[in-house]
Amino acid sequence: MPIFIYMEPWQPGGMPEMVFEYILKQKGLDPAADLSIDQSIDFGSTAAAFSGGTGDFTVEFEPGATSLEKEGKGYVVDSLGVESGYVPYTAYCAKQSYLNRHPEIIQSFTNAIQKGLAYVNSHSADEIAETIQPQFPETDRAAIARIVDRYKAQDTWKNDTIFHRDSFELLENILEEAGELKERIPYEKLVTTTYSEKAAGLQNE
């Protein structure tokens, strides 16, 4: 039985685990019967544990995955992001009362994210690496560029911030499969695309 290393914060009901187990089930695997998942290892120690011989596979964020490859201690064999489809992994929420009182703040915030997306989708991996390297002082620029290339290849960054219905329904499927969703909520009740559509329109002007 293969052993997977999971990061400690990936507790039952957490988004990373739910996505991972959803993918396994879509591939015909039973997470409880066909493999063993070790969640006992601290977030910052999973790559080291894998390098030391713990587990057959490890689920890593970047730059951990690229570091394992660079050191010759592992290979990236697949991407959860590719296999899962467009899961709205990061979404921003606000109360309706706040939206009503501060629409200009919400619009400015959305515009800023749109500018960021426009930048990563219109610049090379080297250019992006140079820009973001101060955020990752322990990772060299060449490694950051490789990570960015990987993200570009797997279509990680959308062209806009619009939260589409199919992604919303995929998220509900994942939550439902994990037993974390008691009742489905209509897309229109929880999602507004007004600010995102305006931000995308401004970007295209």
Residue 11 confidence class, pLDDT cut points 50, 70, 90? low
pLDDT tens for each residue of 29-84: 998 889 888 877 777 788 888 888 888 988 888 888 888 988 899 998 888 888 88
Helix, coil or strand: residue 129? helix
**How far is 64 from 61, CA to CA, in rounded Å?**
6
Q: What pLDDT score does 30 carry?
A: 92
Ranking 12-26, 55-69, 102-116 by mean pLDDT, the lowest is 12-26
Q: What pLDDT score does 90 carry?
A: 84
Q: Work out the average pLDDT over 154-161.
A: 91
pLDDT tens for each residue of 168-179: 999 999 999 988
Residue 111 confidence class, pLDDT cut points 50, 70, 90? very high
**How far is 83 from 69, CA to CA, in rounded Å?**
20
**What is the DSSP code string of 68-120?**
HHHTTS------HHHHH-S---S-----HHHHHH-HHHHHHHHHHHHHHHHHH
pLDDT tens for each residue of 130-143: 999 999 998 899 99
pLDDT tens for each residue of 112-133: 999 999 999 999 999 999 999 9
* Predicted model pTM: 0.81
Q: Structural domain boundaries of the chain?
A: 3-84, 96-204
Q: Is 160 exposed, middle or buried (0-12, 13-18, 19+ CB in 10 A)?
A: buried
Note every long-range contact of 168-171, with CB atoms under 8 Å and residues 24 or more positions apart, other chains counting.
168/88, 170/84, 170/85, 170/86, 170/87, 170/88, 171/87, 171/88
pLDDT over threshold 60, residue 100: yes
